[in-house]
Amino acid sequence: MIVKKLRLKNHWSQEQLANMAGLSLRTIQRVEAGNPASKETLKSLAAVFEIDIFELTEVVKMIDKKSEDWQSAPLWVSLGLLGFKERKPS
C-alpha cells in the first residue's frame, strides 16, 4: 500500500509513523497490510505525509506486459489497450 511506500521514502519506522500520526503501531501494521482504514486514520496519515487524503485511497491498476498472464490474454484485450502508454512502476 502507499502508506508503506511513503513511510519508507521518509526513512521512518512503523513506530515513528504511529507516534507522529497519533495512532497505534498495530493500526499502522494493519493499514500497510492492506486492511481498510477509518476516515480518521486516513486523515491522520495524510496530515503526517502532508498529502491529500485522496492520495491514500487512490488505487492504481498496472498491467505487466511481460508477465505470462498478459501474454496469454485474448487478442481483443491486447488490442483494446494499444493506446495506453507504458511506464515503469515506481
Amino acid at residue number 6: L
**How far, in Å, CA of 79 to CA of 83, rounded?**
9
Q: With 90 as the cut, is the pLDDT of residue 30 above it?
A: yes
Residues 6+ apart with CB under 8 A from 37: 27, 30, 31, 45, 56
- pLDDT for 81 equals 58
Write the pLDDT tens digit of every residue in 32-43. Answer: 998 889 999 999
pTM: predicted TM-score of the whole model, two decimal places: 0.65
